[in-house]
């Protein structure tokens, strides 16, 4: 890949956060969920397991802290560790959101992560960033620059057409 091609490639890629929730870990679905994103062609560039704290959850769900159901969210998200993932690709934010499906698993269409793997509104397998701006803020919350791995997949030439880069 020439320097210009590499620059164009890096400029066209988005990064987004996916959190595999405690219910996913407890149900043994980590591999299933990660496999779906890999098969779609997204590139995993950072991943770690972490036990979330009330402090980080209040930051992450700041828009919901005052809601009466927030204690349920906090308890659910602290029930077990989570797996934090950063996925990269063209339009990664919207691709991941579409793959996730409706927040309520009972309403998510079959073929989506939630539509195939859950029947709950809260225990709904994953959190996925809802915009590029949110993704940037969430990734900064959970990852530092040293957490990212920059590598070229040998399959890259088979994922996108040249005019998409």
Task: State which H helix or E strand residue 135 sits in.
Answer: helix 132-142
At residue 154, the pLDDT reads 87
Residue among 60, 63, 121, 127 flagged as catalytic: 127
pLDDT at residue 156 above 70?
yes
Mean pLDDT, range 101-112, rounded to an integer: 98
CATH class for the domain made up of 13-155:
alpha beta
Distance CA 37, CA 25 (A): 17
- 30, 33, 27, 46: which is closest to 146 by C-alpha? 46
Output the pLDDT for position 5.
58
pLDDT at 80 over 80: yes
Angstrom distance (rounded) from CA 140 to CA 38: 23
What was the pLDDT predicted at 34? 98
Residue 90 has what pLDDT? Answer: 95
Parallel/antiparallel/unpaired status of strands 43-50 and 14-20: unpaired
Contact 101, 114 (CB under 8 A): yes
**Whether the predicted pLDDT of 7 surpasses 80:** no
Q: Average pLDDT in the 138-163 region?
A: 92
Provide the pLDDT for residue 1. Answer: 56
| Range 17-27 average pLDDT | 98
Spatial separation of the C-alpha atoms in residues 97 and 55, rounded to whole Å: 26
| Percentage of the chain lying above the pLDDT 70 cut | 93
Reply yes or no on whether the pLDDT at 95 is more than 70.
yes
Residue 52: which pLDDT band, with cuts at 50, 70 and 90?
Answer: very high
Residue 121: predicted pLDDT = 94
127 is catalytic: yes
**Higher model confidence: residue 11 or residue 47?**
47
- Judge whether residue 4 has pLDDT over 70: no
């Amino acid at each position: 890949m020439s320097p210009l091609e590499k620059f164009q490639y890096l400029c066209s890629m988005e990064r987004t956060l996916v959190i595999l929730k405690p219910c996913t870990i407890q149900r043994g679905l980590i591999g299933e969920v990660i496999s779906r994103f890999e098969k779609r062609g997204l590139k995993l560039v950072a991943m770690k397991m972490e036990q979330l704290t009330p402090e980080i959850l209040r930051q992450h769900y700041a828009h919901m802290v005052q809601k009466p159901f927030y204690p349920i969210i906090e308890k659910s998200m602290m029930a077990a560790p989570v797996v934090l993932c950063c996925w990269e690709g063209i339009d990664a934010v919207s691709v991941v959101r579409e793959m996730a499906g409706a927040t309520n698993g009972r309403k998510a269409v079959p073929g989506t992560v939630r539509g195939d793997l859950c029947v709950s509104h809260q225990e709904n397998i994953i959190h996925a960033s809802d915009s590029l701006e949110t993704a940037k803020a969430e990734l900064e919350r959970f990852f530092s620059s040293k957490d990212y791995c920059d590598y070229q997949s040998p399959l890259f030439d088979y994922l996108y057409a040249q005019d998409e880069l």
